[in-house]
Amino acid sequence: MVDLNAACMAFRTLLEEQYLRAKVMEREKTDYSVKDVINIGLIDGDGIGPVIMEQAVRVLQHLLREEIEGGRIRLRRIDGLTIENRLARNTSVPDEVMQRIRSCDVLLKGPTTTPKGGTMESANVTLRRELDLYANVRPVSIPEKNIDWIFFRENTEGEYVLGSRGIDLPGLSVDFKVTTDAGSERIAREAFDYARRNGKKRVAIVTKANIMKKTDGRFSDICHAVARDYPEIQADEWYIDIMAANLVNESIRDQFDVFLLPNLYGDILTDEAAQIQGGVGTAGSANIGSRYAMFEAIHGSAPRMVEEGLAEYANPQSILKAETMLLRHIGRIDAAARLEKALADCTAEVTGDRNGMSARQYTDELIALL
């Protein structure tokens, strides 16, 4: 007979931790416009990360030259968040790296590799949790197809928060999914506030609450409760499977604009949306918390491109879109708008292979348009 006591004790510990986490969630936002100095941490990441980050930093230096020279904005390199170092140290984010990160305000980060299996957590998941970056915001737009989507993905709960803390028993494994009132409410407010500020008429709440009755059920209930504070906005309920189909259904997809989803569905649907926009290399991602914010490409570190010697042909557009979001977040609206316009106008083609431009050549053309 299998002894279940140890597993039950482990589960008890998880529940205690989750109650504590739910208790300390706060929503006071940092106002960057009143800060004398803004520290931007730069993290290269793995694989194609250093290639696209090099270009993103060039653009940042170009756009913020005066403020950087005047000391109002500091660009600070943060080393050590490499897969080699993390494996050697057996930790997803080494302590001294975390300390450096905490001394910054916002981060621009290249993709980091996550080993499959084992117990090492993804650096992203660790950072999102430790810095409490609860809102993952991902815009996707295709003007010629009348598509203007923005995804508000809950970023600290769901399948992710305990994803590396599942329980293995002989012949059986259990993972845990966690949804809290506080966690659902804060992401729902982000989505509805955005809709209100931008005159959007509808928010699509996307779950699988017919199956995941407790967690998704709670998420959906809380989202609808929040929606009552926004009577001018219609809250629609969708299941994730049909929503995945809707995004490729040309006759209805342009009717959607704001999406509100739990963590894992948000992960999957935003890759799909990015692919529709032109590839996962083309979408940016913001991870917003009340104290910190982290901006990154939505794609991974692409080890295959590196193995095939194609790293320099990686598409920097995703990280550059993330950079526009960073600039907006710290109140540099003009710089953000200039970069957005240049990204929209730049006709240079990056195909991810030798037929297209390298990350550097693309960025040369982009900078010429700024």
Kindly list the residues in this chain that would bind ligand IPM in the complex (CB under 6 A): 114, 122, 124-125, 267, 298, 300
Q: Which residue is nearest to ligand IPM (CB)?
A: 122
Q: Which stretch binds Mg ion (CB under 5 A): 49-57, 260-268, 285-293, 359-367?
A: 260-268
Residue 125 contact, options ligand IPM, Mg ion, none, Cβ 5-8 Å cut-off depending on partner type: ligand IPM
| Interaction mask 45-74, Mg ion, x per CB under 5 A | ------------------------------
C-beta of 47 vs 300, nearer to ligand IPM:
300
C-beta of 125 vs 261, nearer to ligand IPM:
125
- For 124, the token pair is 């992203």
Residue 216 found at the interface with Mg ion (CB under 5 A): no
Residue listed under structure tokens 């957590």: 121
Least Å distance, CB 162 to ligand IPM, is: 14
Cα angle, residue 187 at apex, residues 183 and 189 outer, rounded to 5°: 115
Residue 289 contact, options Mg ion, ligand IPM, none, Cβ 5-8 Å cut-off depending on partner type: none
Are 11 and 166 spatial neighbours (Cβ–Cβ below 8 Å)? Answer: no
DSSP 353: S
Least Å distance, CB 218 to Mg ion, is: 23
Strands (E), 44-188: 73-77, 106-109, 135-142, 147-154, 167-169, 172-174
Least Å distance, CB 368 to ligand IPM, is: 31
Q: Which residues pair with 149 in a beta bridge?
A: 140
C-beta of 121 vs 257, nearer to ligand IPM:
121
Residue 122 contact, options Mg ion, ligand IPM, none, Cβ 5-8 Å cut-off depending on partner type: ligand IPM
Least Å distance, CB 319 to Mg ion, is: 14
Q: Give buried/exposed letters for 25-61 (b at 16+ CB in 10 A, else e).
A: beeeebeeeeeeebebbbbbbbbbbebbbbbbbbbbe
Q: Which amino acid is present at 98?
A: M
Are 288 and 25 spatial neighbours (Cβ–Cβ below 8 Å)? Answer: no
* CA gap 191, 69 in Å, rounded: 36
Residue 124 contact, options ligand IPM, Mg ion, none, Cβ 5-8 Å cut-off depending on partner type: ligand IPM
**Axis-axis angle for helices 359-369, 333-345 (nearest 10):** 120
C-beta of 151 vs 313, nearer to ligand IPM:
151
Could you tell me how many residues of this chain bind Mg ion (CB under 5 A)?
1
Least Å distance, CB 28 to ligand IPM, is: 25
Q: Which amino acid is present at 151?
A: F
Q: Which of 369, 350, 356, 355 is nearest to 52 (CA)?
A: 350
Binding residue (CB under 5 A) for Mg ion from 267, 302, 358, 363 = 267
Q: How far apart are the first and last CA of the chain?
A: 69
Residues that bind Mg ion (CB under 5 A): 267
